[in-house]
Structure 1
Amino acid sequence: MQVCSLDLGNDYVDKDDKPTGLGRIQPELYQQKAQESEDSSKNSGDKNCGRINFSLKYDYENECLLVNILRAVDLPAKDLCGTSDPYVKVYLLPDRKKFQTRVHRKMLNPTFNESFQFPVAYDELPVRKLHMSVFDFDRFSRHDMIGEVELDNLFELSDLSRETNIWRDIQYATSESVDLGEIMFSLCYLPTAGRLTLTVIKCRNLKAMDITGYSDPYVKVSLICDGRRLKKKKTSIKKNTLNPTYNEAIIFDIPPDSMDHVSLHISVMDYDLVGHNEIIGVMRLGCHAEGLGRDHWNEMLAYPRKPIAHWHPLLEQPVPDLAQSSFPSTVP
């Protein structure tokens, strides 16, 4: 499919946009029976985020780490009714494969008792990190993050030959510290024609959103002016990959005198045939953006008619919902 002014028409509907080298390991140094380890570390600031109980065991026969999310206690209330709808996401970093527990409705002391298997060689465990993010499910908006727990050294407590029971304080966090991947694209602006071309080249190391360990990513680009979304365009969907290649051009007509008033919001999405499409990560471009998003934009303006390509890290924070523009604007 040749893509120019990319429009997927009625054949593709974004459901979310409807209205509405290791040294020798010495396990004997860590040997102990199943235990409950109390971590007295303080939560950030005065935020009480509760505690989480889980167990770890290494399966030598199948070469995998068994993680059992048991329960959480004293979670903060996130809903107006004084409760939360908690669930837990589990990662074994640096892999981005994610497991997720079921949501427990209206509970501050949920019992999960859900087990997950992470394929990993025993000798790799010292360089792996177990990361757990606790969320409050929200049916109508972005899920609120309650906090997170990360274990840097999985041999700190035991050699994991026996099931080890662990308690940890949930550390306050507002966004997941898990790497979401990167996107590479080029920008080219033609002042005389008032035309901006953003060519989505590829992404790499995207976070896995499906239970298969992959995602079905596509890229959505929104043109924003004065806080309102004027236009939205999308790439094609790439199936079962965390490193998609697109090479698809997205074109917007923007007069030169409007360039200081517009921005581009880029969202890498995971397509879901049945449920809602999920945001993998986002970034923002424009003269009022931050960091590389601003620098790339200014470089494009400084070198007109020349495609400028850069890699950009994806952020967890989603772009706020923006109303469709219905007011007169200098941007077509």
Structure 2
Amino acid sequence: MHHCQTRRRVSFLIIIVAVVLTASPLLVCLVSCELNLFLSLLPHPFFPPSLCVCLVCASCFLTVVDSRSTIHQDDEDDEEGETGLTEEEKEEEEKEEEKLGKLQYSIDYDFENAKLTVGILQAADLISMDSGGTSDPYVKVQLLPEKKKKYDTKVHKKTLNPVFNETFVFKVPYEELGGKILSMSVYDYDRFSKHDVIGEVKIPMNTIDLGRPIEEWKDLESADQEEPEKLGDICISLRYVPTAGKLTVCILEAKNLKKMDACGLSDPYVKIQLLQGGKRLKKKKTTVKKNTLNPYYNESFSFEIPLEQMQKILVAVTVFDYDKIGKNDAIGKIFVGSKASGLGLKHWSDMLSNPRRPIAQWHPLQPEEDIDGQLASLNAKK
């Protein structure tokens, strides 16, 4: 009877040990102590010594492993407590590292005349964009989402703390103002390449009190990296007659032009300029095509150019949106010539290789400032 009870107790204890070994190593130490004491009281036949040793060793091994794991975790926690930063502190540190400078501006709205006056006063602590440790900053002001009306301040050379003191006026009814966003972007001017944006300030107009003039400083934020805007394409034909020294440029058509008017259309016309050494020799214009993004012109213009001069000539073609009241805005621009690259050079070379034949080619329009930068770079290398 005593032996049966002992067997049951042994079986029950083994089950407990098995559960503990698979569940929580933290409990193994306590169970193993009781197990060792109990096994020492059992007669030899009722419990094989080899099984006793295995159970005890397994218990001790798991206990040691768990204790080491706990110590290692404690060390990590201590190290994080000493040197780690909270999420808020990390965010603040990142902001400190990303400081781009700050901009002072003013906003005033004339309710009687429906005019918004934006003052660009000054900037301070701008990051350097040039190799000399300075920048050539200017500010571009827009009232989004309308992109046609935009202003640029003057460029201030070699400074990180420019003083502008320039004002710009947007005529906009008060009931439309709430849906606008005032965008003030600081750029670094580069004569020979695309101007780099330093940072921007955006003010949703429905978040400010227009009942009083505002003048304040704001930190610049990283500007959104927008995909290059699609401006459209233009198809032109080139023809050169060497014996007569006559270059004919035919503006055939354009397609998918950028929308420039509030109605979602444009009034495009094309300007052709004959350039040599950075100087404009001649210019011509097409007629204006009203309310279209896909104008058809088929208008030709001829220029007298001796063969020996053809390697020095560039032809710039700019598509403008005609505005009866304000300034005509450039939609996009291209240029062709022996000093051009890509399609501009290929088109010119094809024309010279096929005298007397008109050679037509589509060209993707590029921002006017980008093309002007390329032309300035070519003139600087001459």
Q: TM-score range by the shorter chain?
A: 0.5 to 0.7
1:88 and 2:139 equivalent?
no
1:287 and 2:338 equivalent?
yes
1:257 and 2:308 equivalent?
yes
Question: Aligned residue for 1:185?
Answer: 236
Shift, 1:205, TM fit = 1.6
For residues 77 and 265 of structure 1, do their structure 2 counterparts lie closer, same or farther at Cα, with a shift above 3 Å needed?
A: farther
- The answer as to whether partners of 1:181 and 1:205 remain within 8 angstroms in 2 is yes
| Aligned equivalents of 2:345, 2:198: Cα separation in 1 | 30
- The answer as to whether partners of 1:77 and 1:83 remain within 8 angstroms in 2 is no
Counterpart of 2:349, as a letter, is N
Counterpart of 1:208, as a letter, is K
Q: Between Structure 1 and Structure 2, which shows a larger proportion of strand residues?
A: 1
Counterpart of 1:171, as a letter, is A
For residues 148 and 224 of structure 1, do their structure 2 counterparts lie closer, same or farther at Cα, with a shift above 3 Å needed?
A: same
Counterpart of 2:372, as a letter, is V
For residues 84 and 259 of structure 1, do their structure 2 counterparts lie closer, same or farther at Cα, with a shift above 3 Å needed?
A: closer
| Aligned equivalents of 2:137, 2:354: Cα separation in 1 | 54
| Aligned equivalents of 1:261, 1:75: Cα separation in 2 | 42
Matches within 5 A, 1:213-292: 213-292=264-343
Shift, 1:285, TM fit = 0.8
For residues 195 and 213 of structure 1, do their structure 2 counterparts lie closer, same or farther at Cα, with a shift above 3 Å needed?
A: same
Shift, 1:207, TM fit = 1.6
Counterpart of 2:141, as a letter, is Y
Shift, 1:184, TM fit = 0.9
| Aligned equivalents of 2:166, 2:310: Cα separation in 1 | 49
| Aligned equivalents of 2:359, 2:124: Cα separation in 1 | 46
| Identity over aligned pairs, percent | 37
User: How many residues end up aligned between the 2 structures?
Assistant: 222
Partner secondary structure for residue 259 of structure 1: helix
For residues 299 and 102 of structure 1, do their structure 2 counterparts lie closer, same or farther at Cα, with a shift above 3 Å needed?
A: closer
Question: Aligned residue for 1:314?
Answer: 365
- The answer as to whether partners of 1:146 and 1:172 remain within 8 angstroms in 2 is no
Matches within 5 A, 1:1-332: 48=101, 86-88=140-142, 90=144, 98=147, 106=165, 114-116=177-179, 134=185, 146=197, 169-171=221-223, 177-316=228-367, 317=369, 319=372
1:179-231 Cα offsets, whole Å, 9 max, x none, are: 21111111111111111111111111212222222221110011111221110
For residues 147 and 271 of structure 1, do their structure 2 counterparts lie closer, same or farther at Cα, with a shift above 3 Å needed?
A: farther
Counterpart of 1:179, as a letter, is K
For residues 115 and 85 of structure 1, do their structure 2 counterparts lie closer, same or farther at Cα, with a shift above 3 Å needed?
A: farther
- The answer as to whether partners of 1:77 and 1:84 remain within 8 angstroms in 2 is no
| Structure 1 alignment gaps of length 5 or more | 1-37, 51-71, 92-96, 118-131, 137-143, 150-162, 323-332
For residues 182 and 307 of structure 1, do their structure 2 counterparts lie closer, same or farther at Cα, with a shift above 3 Å needed?
A: same
- The answer as to whether partners of 2:239 and 2:248 remain within 8 angstroms in 1 is yes
| Aligned equivalents of 1:298, 1:243: Cα separation in 2 | 27
- The answer as to whether partners of 1:219 and 1:268 remain within 8 angstroms in 2 is yes
For residues 206 and 170 of structure 1, do their structure 2 counterparts lie closer, same or farther at Cα, with a shift above 3 Å needed?
A: farther
Counterpart of 1:272, as a letter, is D
Q: Between Structure 1 and Structure 2, which shows a larger proportion of helix residues?
A: 2
| Aligned equivalents of 2:296, 2:257: Cα separation in 1 | 12
The Cα RMSD (Å) is 4.9
Counterpart of 1:226, as a letter, is G
Shift, 1:87, TM fit = 2.1
For residues 260 and 277 of structure 1, do their structure 2 counterparts lie closer, same or farther at Cα, with a shift above 3 Å needed?
A: same
| Aligned equivalents of 2:125, 2:294: Cα separation in 1 | 38
| Aligned equivalents of 1:77, 1:211: Cα separation in 2 | 38
For residues 310 and 271 of structure 1, do their structure 2 counterparts lie closer, same or farther at Cα, with a shift above 3 Å needed?
A: same
- The answer as to whether partners of 2:240 and 2:355 remain within 8 angstroms in 1 is yes
1:120-167 Cα offsets, whole Å, 9 max, x none, are: xxxxxxxxxxxx78378xxxxxxx885688xxxxxxxxxxxxx99xx9
Counterpart of 1:87, as a letter, is V
Larger Rg computed on CA atoms = 2
Shift, 1:48, TM fit = 4.8
